[in-house]
Amino acid sequence: MCYDQVLFITPATSDPILVLKPNWLGTDIFGSVMAPDYFDKHLNRTSEDYVTKTEIERVFEDVADVDLVITLLHEFQLCHTYDQQTYIIPGLLTQTMPDEVWKPTTEPTVVYFGKQVQCAGSTDLFSSGFFPRVQTRLMRELQNRPSLWRDGAKCVEIKAEGLIKLSPDGRAVNICVRSAQGDKVQCGKMLQQLENIIGNVLYDCSPGTGAVENVLSARALKENRDEYYSCCKVEISKATTKGGAVVQPILKFTEQVSDLLSAEDVKPELIQASALQDTEETKVFQAFPCVNPCEEYKTMLKERPDELQYELPRDGPGTHATGHCRDESVQVSPDQS
């Protein structure tokens, strides 16, 4: 058996890549691409943090065929181009997102929605390539070109716009969408698309990372606060059956569930998906409690275990995250239900 080879299974649209010399790939290719500026051989970037094809040719002229290098970067979701001459490598972005990118709007009909995907426990971390790959997927999948920064991305559609912001500690991704025209349907569609992209990349890049999904406060988003405030999905689920209102746990104001959930949120269930099986047709997931679940969730788990299993299509696990609860004295595993 040979251990000095790497087989990379590319997306369904491409053929698998077999790397006979992993050190060449990791050091000569990826190492040169991601090398910091103080290295002798590194990629110089434009004022917009882009890399030109001429610059790639300069760095790799004695290493490999430039088209092969670009193909590898593309297949490993490390870069994207819109014109075949200028390449955006999210892992090399240095500029942070300016505050004026997401200014509050005075439109009376504006609506906001948001989700938060964060590491579940103190030992959970997103991989270093997670957020750059999210940005690469945004460039590939969104109809309009997104604006990118080291810690964020802004997406604009006809009646909705979205913001993806990485927290300063790198342990949470906040997704905000809004429509000045009050179009909840378009907001829901955009939010779902952004959630799917983040979920798919998390599954690919950090399959062992525990992640929880919270619902962001629409009122706090509208007030354009400096921080993001969220509520766990268990509380949202409880509020749905008890008058439809939920109290924001930190800011202490009350919000209607209908103002927090978009049209795409059919079931405000608490779930975290763990891949059990990967076949050609589907990826099957078994939902299990998040770290530190609250008492309400343990009750839900015992009373409705059959509702916490589902199948996802082959194109990716769009919602493999969970609601986050704050009872840090409890830890439950699936077989304890």
Which pLDDT belongs to residue 284?
Answer: 27
Q: Are residues 135 and 260 both part of a single domain?
A: yes
pLDDT band at 205 (very low <50, low <70, confident <90, very high): confident
State the Cα–Cα distance between residues 239 and 262, nearest whole angstrom: 15
Q: Are residues 88 and 173 in the same domain?
A: no
Residue 65 included in any domain: yes
| pLDDT one-digit tens code per residue, 279-332 | 332 222 222 333 333 444 444 445 544 433 333 333 433 333 333 333 333 333
User: For position 326, what pLDDT does the model report?
Assistant: 33
In a shared domain, residues 18 and 107? no
- DSSP state string for 34-82: S--TTSSS-----TTS-EEHHHHHHHHTTTS-HHHHHHHHHHTT--EES
Domain end among 61, 92, 123: 92
Q: Which residue has the higher pLDDT, 267 or 84?
A: 84
Could you tell me the sign of the dihedral formed by the alpha carbons of 158, 118, 246, 296, in that order? positive
Q: Are residues 25 and 61 in the same domain?
A: yes
Considering the domain boundaries, does residue 329 fall inside one?
no
- The pLDDT of residue 308 is 35
- Rounded to an integer, what distance in angstroms lies between the CA atom of residue 28 and that of residue 64? 9
**Residue 101 pLDDT more than 80?**
yes
Q: What torsion do the CA atoms of 278, 209, 121, 221 make, to the nearest 10 degrees?
A: -100
Q: Are residues 239 and 135 in the same domain?
A: yes
Q: pLDDT for 31-64, tens place per residue?
A: 999 998 888 889 999 988 899 999 999 999 888 8
Q: Examine the domain organization and report whether 78 and 226 are in the same domain.
A: no
**pLDDT for 10 beyond 50:** yes
Of these ranges, 148-157, 223-232, 268-277, 282-291, the one predicted with the greatest mean pLDDT is 148-157
Same domain assignment for residues 157 and 247: yes
Q: Based on the domain organization, do 194 and 233 belong to the same domain?
A: yes
User: Which long-range contacts (C-beta less than 8 Å, at least 24 apart) are formed by 127-131?
Assistant: 127/205, 127/206, 127/209, 129/78, 129/91, 129/205, 130/201, 130/202, 130/205, 130/206, 131/90, 131/166, 131/170, 131/173
Q: Which residue has the higher pLDDT, 130 or 16?
A: 130
Does residue 191 fall inside a structural domain? yes
108 and 79 housed in the same domain: no
**What is the b/e burial string over 12-25, where b = at least 16 CB atoms within 10 angstroms of the residue's CB?**
eeeeeeebeeeeeb
- The residue from 92, 126, 142 where one domain ends is 92
Say whether pLDDT at 131 is over 90.
yes
96 secondary structure, DSSP code: P
Residues 65 and 129 in one domain: no
Q: Is residue 273 part of a domain?
A: no
CATH number of 253's domain: 3.30.310.200
Instruction: Classify residue 28 by burial, with Cβ atoms within 10 Å: 0-12, 13-18, 19+.
Output: middle
**Model pLDDT, residue 204:** 86
Specify if 299 maps to a domain. no
Angstrom distance (rounded) from CA 228 to CA 255? 15
- Non-local (6+) Cβ contacts of 192 within 8 A are 262, 264, 318
Q: What whole-number distance in Å separates Cα of residue 212 and Cα of residue 290?
A: 7
CA–CA separation, 139 and 80 (whole Å): 7
pLDDT digits 0-9 by tens, 133-151: 999 999 999 999 999 999 9
**Boundary residue ending a domain (57, 92, 127):** 92
Q: Please, what sign has the CA dihedral across residues 160, 161, 164, 167?
A: negative
What's residue 232's pLDDT? 86
pLDDT of 16: 72
For the chain, the domain total comes to: 2
Which of 252, 260, 118 lies closest to 188 in space, CA to CA?
Answer: 260
* Residues 50, 19 within the same domain: yes
**Residue 304 belongs to some domain of the structure:** no
Judged by average pLDDT, the poorest of 4-18, 155-169, 238-252 is: 4-18
Q: Quick one: average pLDDT of 182-210?
A: 92
- Between residues 282 and 94, the one the model is more confident about: 94
Structural domain boundaries enclosing 72:
6-92
Tell me if 31 is assigned to some domain. yes
| DSSP line for 102-155 | G-----TT-EEEEEEEEESSTT----TTHHHHHHHHHHHH-SSPPEEETTEEEE
| Contact (CB, 8 A) for 66 and 56 | yes
Q: State the pTM of this model.
A: 0.74
Q: Is the pLDDT of residue 1 over 70?
A: no
User: What pLDDT is recorded for position 263?
Assistant: 61
Confidence at residue 292, expressed as pLDDT on a 0 to 100 scale: 35
Q: Binning pLDDT at 50, 70 and 90, where does residue 172 land?
A: very high
Q: Indicate if 31 and 48 belong to the same structural domain.
A: yes
Question: Cβ of 60: how many Cβ atoms within 10 Å?
Answer: 20
